[in-house]
Each structure stands twice: as C-alpha cells, then as structure tokens.
C-alpha cells in the first residue's frame, strides 16, 4: 500500500467514525455554503455586471470575482456559525443531546446577526449581503402566508376557505408586488435595490429613447 493510500485510509477512518460526525458536519456545511454561494453568484454577477455596469473589462472582472467571493464567504460563515450554535444548544438544553424546538431559530438568529447583520468599518452593509437577506425574507413571507391558512397551524381552520384563499392569493400577491415596485421605481427609485433598479431602468426608461434604427433595435441609445 502506497503512502497516499495509507493517508487516504486513515482520513476515511476519521470521517466515517460516528463520534466525529457532528464536528465534521460543521466543516461540510462550510464547504457546501462556499461552493453553493460561488455557483449561484458567479453567473448572476457575470450577467448583471457585464450588462449594466460601466468600466473596463478588468474592473468588471474584479467586481464579478469580489461579488462571488463575498457570497461564498458569507454562506460558508453562516453555515459554520449555525451548525456550531446547533451543537451548543443541543448540549446545553433541558435534555442534553436532544434538539430543542427553538434551537434552529436562535442558531439562525445568531448567524444572521454575525454574518449578514453587521456593517463594515465605513458603516455600510454590502449589496451582496442585502440581496441574500432580501431573498430569504421574501421566502419567509411566502412560507408564513402558506402557514397562516393551513387548517392545523394557521388562523383559518376551514379547509374549504383555505383552498379558496390559496387559489386566489398568488395572483393578488403578484399583482400587488409589481404594482408596488413600479410605483417605487417611478417616484422613489433610490429606495429600490441597485441591481433591480438598473434592470428596470434598462427596460422601462431607456426604451423611451432612440434616434436611429440601429439604437432602436440593436442597442439602447
């Protein structure tokens, strides 16, 4: 057996030992957070920055890599803190070794504050962190809306009424969301997230201006 195979076998013995599972899960969560963050952010930043940001190619590449690194790092940090907090809470609760009902809430609260709630030395929160939090918040609102009409958990106990509300809720939600963002973009554009504002400006404002067939069809004036 070669030295490489010996090391590989020893490492596999460590990672497959049930006694190490909790701590290794922290490392795996950090790894998965970093990989997922990079996979999601890179193509998004590539498209948005190339299309809507001005500057040299080198500056754009730097922005793309910075956004990707920030997203990957934030998710890795959050996953690490969350998993560590879950381990801590599980072992200091009323029944050590057993997960409490609110452990996930407090672990998420800690990670959210330490990773996404902090500001930099200039008192600013990064745009990437804001986008992640807004994304999560939107999903929380949708989940809360669904939960509120579940007969067993929500405020509406009638199954027939639940079905009617569920059937009609999405069209109303979609319409109000678009109505609100268009109104905000028209009268208070500075309040709209920068990436969304740039894309809306491209579609709804720049479409009002052209002076030739070329910049009417091929690109904006």
pLDDT at residue 123 above 70?
A: yes
pLDDT at 106 over 70: yes
- pLDDT for 120 equals 77
Residue 140 lies inside a defined structural domain of this protein: no
Domain count of the chain? 1
> Considering the domain boundaries, does residue 219 fall inside one?
no
Average pLDDT over residues 6-32: 92
Output the pLDDT for position 41.
95
| 40-65 pLDDT, tens digit each | 999 999 998 998 888 999 999 999 99
Mean pLDDT of 118-141: 87
In a domain, residue 207? The reply is no
- State the pTM of this model: 0.79
Per-residue pLDDT band for 149 (boundaries 50, 70, 90) equals confident
Lowest-pLDDT range, 44-53, 144-153, 178-187?
A: 144-153
* pLDDT at residue 93, rounded to an integer: 74
Tell me how many degrees the CA angle 123-113-69 measures, rounded to the nearest 5. Answer: 70
Indicate whether 161 belongs to any domain.
no
The answer to whether residue 24 scores a pLDDT higher than 90 is yes
Paired tokens of 205: 């404002």
With respect to residue 189, please indicate whether it lies within any of the assigned structural domains.
no
Residue 16 lies in a domain: yes
Most confident of 59-68, 138-147, 159-168: 59-68
193 lies in some domain: no
For position 57, what pLDDT does the model report?
A: 93
Domain of 84, in residue numbers: 1-125
Q: Is residue 170 part of a domain?
A: no
């Amino acid at each position: 057996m070669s030295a490489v195979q010996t090391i590989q076998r020893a490492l596999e013995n460590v990672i497959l030992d049930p006694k190490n599972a909790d701590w290794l899960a922290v490392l795996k969560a950090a790894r998965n957070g970093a990989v997922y963050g990079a996979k999601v952010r890179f193509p998004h930043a590539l498209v948005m920055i190339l299309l809507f940001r001005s500057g040299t190619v080198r500056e754009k590449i730097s922005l793309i890599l910075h956004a990707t690194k920030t997203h990957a790092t934030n998710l890795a940090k959050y996953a690490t803190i969350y998993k560590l907090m879950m381990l801590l809470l599980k072992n200091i609760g009323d029944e050590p070794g057993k997960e409490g009902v609110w452990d996930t809430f407090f672990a998420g609260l800690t990670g959210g504050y330490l990773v996404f709630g902090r500001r930099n030395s200039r008192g600013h929160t990064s745009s990437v962190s804001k986008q992640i939090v807004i994304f999560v918040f939107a999903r929380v609102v949708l989940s809360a809306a669904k939960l509120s009409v579940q007969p067993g958990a929500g405020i509406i106990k009638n199954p027939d009424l639940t079905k009617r509300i569920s059937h009609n809720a999405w069209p109303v939600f979609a319409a109000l969301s678009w109505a609100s963002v268009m109104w905000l973009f028209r009268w208070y554009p500075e309040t709209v997230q920068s990436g969304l504002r740039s894309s809306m400006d491209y579609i709804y404002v720049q479409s009002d201006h052209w002076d030739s067939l070329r910049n009417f069809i091929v690109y904006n004036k």
